[in-house]
Amino acid sequence: MGSFIELKNVSVLRDDRKILDNINLVINSDENVAIIGPNGSGKSTFIKLITGKIYPSYTGDDTVCKLFGRIQWNVHNLRNMLGIVTNELQYNFHNEITGIETVLSGFFASIGLSNTHIVTNAMIKKAENTIDFLEVSSLKDKKLETMSSGEARRFLIARSLVNNPKVLVLDEPSNSLDIASAVKLHNTMRKISGSGTKIVLVTHLVSDIIPEMDRFVFFKKGKIFADGNRKNIFTSDKLSSLFGMKVKINENNSLCEIAVV
Which range binds ligand ATP by CB under 6 A, 40-48, 58-66, 115-123, 250-258?
40-48
Does 39 bind ligand ATP (CB under 6 A)? Our answer is yes
Nearest residue to 107 via CA among 87, 126, 129: 126
Contact with ligand ATP (CB under 6 A) among 2, 13, 30, 40:
40
- Binding piece for ligand ATP, criterion CB under 6 A, among 41-49, 107-115, 153-161, 179-187: 41-49
**CB nearer to Mg ion: pick between 43 and 140:** 43
Cα 160 to Cα 106: distance, rounded to the nearest angstrom: 6
For 64, counting Cβ atoms within 10 Å of its Cβ (0-12 exposed, 13-18 middle, 19+ buried), the class is middle
Task: Say whether residue 44 binds Mg ion (CB under 5 A).
Answer: yes
Structure letter (DSSP) for residue 210: -
* Part of the chain binding Mg ion (CB under 5 A), chosen from 37-45, 58-66, 91-99, 239-247: 37-45
User: Residues in contact with Mg ion, total (CB under 5 A)?
Assistant: 2
Contacts of 115 (CB under 8 A, 6+ apart): none
What Rg do the C-alpha atoms of the chain give, in angstroms?
18
Task: Note the helical H segments in 119-216.
Answer: 121-133, 149-161, 179-194
Q: Closest approach of Cβ 57 to ligand ATP, in Å?
A: 11
Between CA 30 and CA 3 the distance in angstroms is 8
150 binds, among Mg ion, ligand ATP, none (CB under 5 to 8 A by kind): none
171 with 44: CB under 8 angstroms?
A: yes
| Contact region with ligand ATP (CB under 6 A), list: 34-42, 148-156, 161-169, 241-249 | 34-42
- Binding residues among 3-22 for ligand ATP as defined by CB under 6 A: 14-15, 19
3-state DSSP assignment of residue 139 = helix
Amino acid at 114: S
The site partner of 125 among Mg ion, ligand ATP, none (C-beta below 5 to 8 Å per kind) is none
Sign of the torsion formed by the C-alpha atoms of 233, 236, 239 and 240: negative
Give which of ligand ATP, Mg ion, none residue 37 binds (C-beta under 5 to 8 Å, depending on kind).
ligand ATP
Cβ nearer to Mg ion, comparing 44 with 57: 44
- C-beta of 53 vs 246, nearer to ligand ATP: 53
Q: Compare residues 130 and 203 and give the one whose CB is closer to ligand ATP.
A: 203
The three state secondary structure string of 48-72 is: HHHCCCCCCCCCCCCCEEEECCECC
Q: Is 82 helix (H, G, I), strand (E, B) or coil?
A: strand
Among 10, 27, 29, 45, binds ligand ATP (CB under 6 A): 45
Q: Under the criterion CB under 5 A, does residue 87 sit at the interface with Mg ion?
A: no
Least separation in angstroms between CB 120 and Mg ion: 36
Q: Which residues bind Mg ion (CB under 5 A)?
A: 43-44
Q: Which residues bind ligand ATP (CB under 6 A)?
A: 14-15, 19, 37, 39-45, 204
